[in-house]
């Protein structure tokens, strides 16, 4: 699945032992993916490889994080891996939707790669439909977290210190039987599947998600990436607002269409 970039000189495949794998779920508003774009762009991460997979719709373009003519010509595809060894961080960015019936194969292959590359933990950025919140969830913070039992032992205390809210379980049969509770993440794409598989495989995984709706999801991405930063401290956050510290990539231009024809006015 993982194909390392050919950096020339017969360099060995990158080593991710002990690294934190940060990745998005393709979910409502594409918030996780936008947040990952901010992380890669701000930390100026180096591409170290890609996923060769038949599970995602193919796409290709030029470098989405280009800052100048010289670095704008590198091809970029639908699933690429970036790394920042100084922070022991490896990031997977997914740029296209899943092909029908390919969710499970992708999750299985991904978790198998996580185990073989000996990543210490996985952090999944995701989102869920805001309109499906219950009365209690409508109040307070729209941000939630989930931890697999293995990671709960390691960082559960930190989440309590940060005063974070764990994602609530909902009744499996609302109105009929309110005692059986299940995890329900509508609009979350592969979030629930990846989380439940990680629980059963003993993988340390954290899910950070935001309730949101489709629309201009750039503010949602900033909120989610700042939430992530409260925990992982990827960038310094001593200033009360860290909005300006995240670098928007050049590929975010024209998200809502082209310029208007002058003849319209």
Partner 1 sequence: MATFFGEVVVAPSRAGLDEEEEAREETPEDREIRREIEKKRYRRRGRLRLEIRAREVDVLWTCAEQPLVCSRFIVAIGRNAAAFLSSFILDSVCWEVVGVVKLWNEWCRTSSTTNVLPTDSFCLFYRLIADPTVLLCQCSCYVAEDQQFQWLEKVFGSMQKKGLQVTILSTCPVADYKTQESTLTLVSPFLRALKTKEFQEQVCCPLLEQPNIVRDLPAA
Enumerate residues 196-255 that contact partner 1 by CB under 8 A: 213-214, 250-255
User: How large is the C-alpha radius of gyration of the chain?
Assistant: 19
Residue 140 CA to residue 163 CA, distance in Å, equals: 12
138 counts as binding partner 1 under rule CB under 8 A: no
Segment interacting with partner 1, rule: CB under 8 A, options 102-110, 134-142, 154-162, 201-209:
102-110
- The residue written with tokens 């992380």 in the block is 39
Neighbouring residues of 21: CB distance < 8 A, sequence distance ≥ 6: 90, 91, 92, 114, 119, 121, 122, 123
CB of 251 to partner 1, least distance (A): 5
CB 236 within 8 A of CB 220: no
Residue 1 CA to residue 94 CA, distance in Å, equals: 14
According to CB under 8 A, which one of 7, 104, 160, 181 is a site residue for partner 1?
A: 104
Q: Which is nearer to partner 1, 242 or 248 (CB)?
A: 248
Enumerate residues 8-47 that contact partner 1 by CB under 8 A: 26-30
Q: Which is nearer to partner 1, 98 or 145 (CB)?
A: 98
Q: Which is nearer to partner 1, 107 or 147 (CB)?
A: 107
167 counts as binding partner 1 under rule CB under 8 A: no
Binding mask 63-82 for partner 1 (x = CB under 8 A): xx-x-----xxxx-xx----
Whole-number Cα distances in Å, 192 to 31, 59, 122, 135: 16, 25, 14, 22
CB of 240 to partner 1, least distance (A): 32
Residue 219 CA to residue 31 CA, distance in Å, equals: 9
- The continuous run of DSSP H or E covering 40 comes out as helix 31-42
Q: Is 61 left (phi over 0), alpha (psi -120 to 50) or beta?
A: beta
CB of 35 to partner 1, least distance (A): 14
CB of 33 to partner 1, least distance (A): 9
Q: Which is nearer to partner 1, 53 or 137 (CB)?
A: 53
CB of 210 to partner 1, least distance (A): 13
Q: Which is nearer to partner 1, 240 or 258 (CB)?
A: 258
Q: Which is nearer to partner 1, 55 or 159 (CB)?
A: 55
Whole-number Cα distances in Å, 139 to 30, 142, 211: 23, 8, 12
According to CB under 8 A, which one of 17, 70, 263, 265 is a site residue for partner 1?
A: 263
54 counts as binding partner 1 under rule CB under 8 A: yes
Alpha helix segments (H runs only) across 187-234: 191-201, 218-232
Q: Which residues bind partner 1 (CB under 8 A)?
A: 26-30, 54, 57-64, 66, 72-75, 77-78, 96-104, 184-193, 213-214, 250-255, 257-263
């Amino acid at each position: 699945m993982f194909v390392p970039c050919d950096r020339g000189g017969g360099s060995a495949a990158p080593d991710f032992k002990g690294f934190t794998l940060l990745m998005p779920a393709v979910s409502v508003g594409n918030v996780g993916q936008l947040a990952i774009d901010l992380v890669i762009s701000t930390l100026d991460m180096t591409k170290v490889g890609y996923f060769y997979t038949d599970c995602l719709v193919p796409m290709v373009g030029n470098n989405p994080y280009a800052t100048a003519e010289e670095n704008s010509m590198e091809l970029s595809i639908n699933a690429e891996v970036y790394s920042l060894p100084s922070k022991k961080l490896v990031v997977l960015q997914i740029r296209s939707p899943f092909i029908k019936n390919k969710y499970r194969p992708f999750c299985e292959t991904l978790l198998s790669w996580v185990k073989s590359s000996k990543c210490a933990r996985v952090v999944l950025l995701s989102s869920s439909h805001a309109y499906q919140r219950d009365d209690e969830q409508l109040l307070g913070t729209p941000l939630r977290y989930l931890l697999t039992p293995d990671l709960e032992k390691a960082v559960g205390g930190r989440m309590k210190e940060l005063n974070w809210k764990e994602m609530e379980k909902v009744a499996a049969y609302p109105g009929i039987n309110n005692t059986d509770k299940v995890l329900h993440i509508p609009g979350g794409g592969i979030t629930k599947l990846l989380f439940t598989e990680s629980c059963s495989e003993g993988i340390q995984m954290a899910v950070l998600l935001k309730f949101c709706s489709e629309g201009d999801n750039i503010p949602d991405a900033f909120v989610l990436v700042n939430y992530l930063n409260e925990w992982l401290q990827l960038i310094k956050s001593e200033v009360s607002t860290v909005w300006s510290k995240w670098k928007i990539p050049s590929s975010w231009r024209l998200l809502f269409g082209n310029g208007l024809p002058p003849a319209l006015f």
